[in-house]
Amino acid sequence: MEGVISIQTVSHELALTAVAAAVARGADMDCPVAAAVVGAGGDLLAFLRANGSPAPSNKIAQDKACTAASFRVPTPDFYVMVSGNPALRDGIGRQPGIAMFAGGLPIEINGECVGAIGVSGGSEEQDVECANAGLAVIDARQF
């Protein structure tokens, strides 16, 4: 159909599996986290918060996922992209839904970004480890 495009996005079933794996990895490290998966357009598909994770982590996890999906790069890479321009870095950093620190990773299937996962509640290293656990359950599937 002319004037219409199709966009591939992660399913809610796969999103639920990913957030569960991320939160489980946090529990393994005794680090309660919140995890969010968004679709290719940044829409929230799945969210899970471990008991005891910091309340602000709810929004931060979603912001990390939204940033990674929107710009199709891990959140720290996005910071690198804008850090050379202080006006851009400061301006975009003040926008709702933007997070430029570690814990947001794009979800790629067959080379296409279909969404992203964001994790918050631990150190940046712990958040990334948990996000990678979520990606691992997606990568383990045969597409």
Give the pLDDT confidence of 5-53 residue by residue, as tens digits.
Answer: 888 999 999 999 999 999 999 999 999 999 999 999 999 999 999 999 9
Predicted pLDDT of residue 1: 74
Domain boundaries, the chain: 12-139
Each residue's pLDDT tens digit, 82-115 = 989 989 888 888 999 999 999 999 999 999 999 9
134 conformational bin, left if phi > 0, alpha if psi -120 to 50, beta if neither = alpha
- The pTM score is 0.93
Report pLDDT for 141.
82
Q: Which CATH class is domain 12-139?
A: alpha beta
52's CB contacts (< 8 A; 6+ apart) are 32
- 103 secondary structure, DSSP code: S
